[in-house]
């Protein structure tokens, strides 16, 4: 894994060199400022797989460098981890707005750093393997082999893929929050996907998302699409949000934007909303973990359903 670390403190660079060794599968490049880093980015091939940027750099700081890297086509999705000893919320907010993926806090811990780098590596491999599915709705064509289980950029403002959803949750400052975790599902996803072209499928999911945003407009929320026709939402509110009430509002909004009709009729009819958990207080990390657990369980359920269907088909034949 090729990593570019940018820090003006030689001690930090020495520590990174000790932590991120070739024996562990890392190929580390170092730069002392943003200008030197951009030169390395432009001339080094193959491209870097991950960036470690100190926020407090001389001249162009790490946040500005992060924004510059995001302007480069080859690094629009590359994991960028910010190194900092400062936990100021406004500083973290600026970094995330510039495109940062995560934070690594000083003093550096080799185990934690390695875990975060490896997670970034898995993310990078996933991004490469699912590049077609992550294209924006405007770029999708009839020739794209869209998969119903992948989470892709729908081209709808204020909705994120799973990584973006988790990043927003992790941006919450330390502490517990009163939060409702809900899932919005299209249960007949298999039938829907098979009856629509890839472009129609993506257009339909965008309509569901837009209707969900309309239904949630009076709340403070974070919304993400995780694939398989499932949206997850974290509603930050002291009161308990009724899934049935949200479902009613989404369907009312969808009625104003008719969805594609297949052989089974209006495919928005079976949309359902339910609570992922009845727990009321969450940290950003615990909410991320719960959503991950939910997605994993949904994937297992989908596999079990497909096995049952295949078993029935085999028996009938």
Domain architecture of the chain: domains with CATH: 2-129 (3.40.50.2300), 138-316 (3.30.70)
229-268 as b/e: b if 16+ CB within 10 A: bbbbbbbebeeebebeebbebbbebbeeeebbebeeeebb
Mean pLDDT (the chain) is 80
Tell me the pLDDT tens digit for each residue of 119-159. Answer: 766 665 655 555 444 444 444 444 344 444 455 555 577 78
Report the pLDDT averaged over residues 58-69: 95
- pTM, entire model: 0.50
Flag whether pLDDT at 186 surpasses 60.
yes
What is the band of 32 on the pLDDT scale with cuts at 50, 70, 90? very high
**Most confident among 88-97, 101-110, 280-289 (mean pLDDT):** 280-289
Of 199 and 189, the structure prediction assigns the larger pLDDT to 199
What's the pLDDT score for residue 33?
Answer: 95
What integer pLDDT is reported at residue 314 of this predicted model? 52
- How confident is the model over 5-11, as a mean pLDDT? 94
Measured distance CA(28)–CA(302) in Å, rounded: 41
Structure tokens at 166: 């988790």
- 210 vs 263: which has the higher pLDDT: 210
Find the range with the poorest average confidence among 11-25, 49-63, 137-151, 237-251.
Answer: 137-151
* Cα-based torsion angle of the residue sequence 54, 60, 64, 67 in order, rounded to the nearest 10 degrees: -100
In this predicted structure, the answer to whether residue 271 has a pLDDT above a threshold of 70 is yes
pLDDT of res. 147: 47
Q: Percent of the chain beyond pLDDT 90? A: 39
Are β-strands 272-275 and 177-185 bridged in parallel, bridged antiparallel, or unpaired? antiparallel
Tell me the pLDDT band of 23, cut-offs 50, 70 and 90.
confident
CB atoms within 10 A of CB 56: 15
Q: Is the pLDDT of residue 187 over 90?
A: no
Mean pLDDT, residues 170-197: 78
Residue 12 tokens read as 């930090």
Average pLDDT estimate for 6-20: 91
**pLDDT recorded at residue 90:** 79
């Amino acid at each position: 894994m090729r990593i570019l670390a940018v820090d003006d403190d030689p001690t930090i660079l020495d520590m990174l060199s000790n932590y991120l060794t070739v024996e562990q599968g890392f190929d580390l490049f170092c730069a002392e400022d943003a200008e030197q880093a951009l030169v390395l980015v432009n001339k080094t091939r193959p491209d870097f797989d991950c960036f470690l940027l100190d926020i407090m750099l001389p001249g162009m700081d790490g946040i500005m460098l992060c924004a510059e890297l995001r302007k480069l086509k080859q690094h629009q999705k590359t994991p960028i981890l910010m190194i900092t000893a400062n936990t100021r919320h406004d500083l973290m907010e600026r970094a995330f707005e510039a495109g940062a993926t995560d934070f690594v806090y000083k003093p550096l811990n080799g185990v934690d750093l390695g875990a975060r780098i490896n997670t970034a590596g898995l993310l990078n491999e996933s991004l490469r393997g699912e590049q077609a599915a992550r294209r924006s709705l405007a770029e999708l064509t009839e020739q794209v082999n869209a998969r119903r289980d992948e989470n892709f950029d729908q081209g709808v403002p204020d909705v994120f893929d799973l990584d973006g959803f988790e990043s927003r949750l992790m941006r919450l400052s330390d502490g517990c929050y009163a939060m409702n975790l809900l899932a919005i599902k299209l249960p007949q996803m298999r039938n829907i996907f098979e009856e629509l072209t890839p472009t129609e499928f993506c257009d339909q999911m965008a309509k569901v998302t837009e209707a969900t945003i309309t239904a949630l407009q009076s709340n403070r929320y974070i919304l993400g699409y995780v694939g398989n026709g499932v949206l997850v939402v974290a509603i930050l509110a002291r009161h308990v949000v009724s899934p049935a009430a949200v479902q009613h509002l989404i369907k009312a909004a969808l009625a104003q934007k008719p969805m594609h009709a297949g052989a089974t009729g209006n495919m928005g009819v079976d949309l359902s909303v339910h609570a992922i958990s009845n727990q009321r207080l969450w940290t950003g990390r615990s909410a991320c973990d719960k959503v991950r657990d939910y997605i994993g369980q949904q994937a297992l359920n989908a596999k079990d359903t497909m096995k049952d269907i295949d078993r029935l088909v085999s028996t009938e034949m």
